[in-house]
């Protein structure tokens, strides 16, 4: 079904490298704005392949108020610590090893806890401590899969219908792993949302999302506070 909502502003860049540069600058600006306005900035980051060079470059910047920034995860695979499937493994390598001072205010999703459902609730409580009640994260970074998924909100999974929890678990496996993820309520309350979309395999999903197709997971994310940075190959002609 097509919604009547206006699509987010779309910035089309020639290459993935230009998308990374523009995304980085946008994030840097938003971090400064949040700290100036509220004295702190909460940022939730996604996984995938595209964001890590951009986030590593961001972490190397010395012109940002890093002491006032808290980092959360948008989603995480339920896999052993250090596993290459884990978003945290990449977050450690590309952000926390580069800017070690951020470790004290980085909050990984506790996917190795024995009671995983309780762990999801505890993560929501941690977010509430930092971001208020109801939870309002300053900046959420999202990617878009070729199938239209974002975060770990994947097609056909019961997690798409969760509206009474801010952090939840997927009901089944996706690409071989069960996941913990922010839900739509938590994502849609964010002050700002940034999409980073790179690659020709995203063209169909991005076109559908821009058209307001809420039959794909990405189409149910609020557009009013969002912005999209995409390379030329990801944009429908």
Going by C-beta distance under 8 Å and a sequence separation of 6 or more, which residues neighbour residue 234? 197, 198, 199, 200, 202, 203, 206
The pLDDT averaged over each successive group of 10 residues in the chain (237 residues) is 72 96 98 98 92 96 97 96 93 96 97 95 97 97 96 96 97 91 98 97 96 95 96 85
Domains in the chain, CATH or no CATH each: 10-228 (3.40.50.1360)
CA end-to-end span of the chain, whole Å?
Answer: 22
What is residue 3's predicted lDDT score, i.e. its pLDDT?
Answer: 46
The phi, psi pair for 74, rounded to 5°, reads -75, -40
pTM comes to: 0.95
What is residue 237's predicted lDDT score, i.e. its pLDDT?
Answer: 52
- Per DSSP bridges, beta strands 10-13 and 226-231 are parallel
User: What is the three-class DSSP state of 138?
Assistant: coil
Q: Per the structure block, which two tokens stand in for 221?
A: 């994310």
């Amino acid at each position: 079904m097509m919604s009547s909502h206006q699509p987010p502003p779309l910035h089309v860049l020639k290459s993935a490298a230009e998308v990374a540069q523009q995304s980085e600058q946008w994030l840097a600006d938003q971090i400064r704005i949040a700290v100036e306005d509220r004295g702190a900035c909460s940022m939730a980051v996604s996984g995938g392949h595209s964001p890590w060079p951009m986030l590593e470059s961001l972490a190397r910047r010395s012109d940002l108020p890093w002491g006032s920034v808290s980092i959360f995860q948008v989603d995480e695979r339920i896999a052993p610590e250090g596993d290459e499937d884990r978003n945290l493994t990449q977050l450690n390598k590309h952000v926390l090893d580069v800017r070690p001072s951020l470790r004290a205010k980085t909050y990984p999703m506790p996917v190795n806890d024995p009671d995983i459902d309780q762990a999801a609730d505890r993560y929501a409580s941690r977010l509430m401590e930092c971001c208020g009640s109801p939870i309002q994260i300053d900046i959420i970074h999202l990617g878009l899969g070729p199938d239209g998924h974002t975060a770990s909100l994947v097609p056909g999974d019961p997690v798409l219908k969760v509206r009474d929890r801010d952090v939840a678990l997927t009901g089944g496996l996706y690409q071989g792993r069960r996941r913990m993820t922010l839900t739509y309520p938590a994502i849609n309350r964010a002050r700002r949302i940034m999409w980073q979309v790179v690659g020709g395999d995203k063209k169909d999903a991005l076109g559908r999302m821009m058209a307001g197709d809420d039959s794909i997971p990405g189409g149910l994310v609020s557009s009013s506070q969002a912005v999209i940075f995409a390379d030329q190959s990801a944009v429908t002609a």
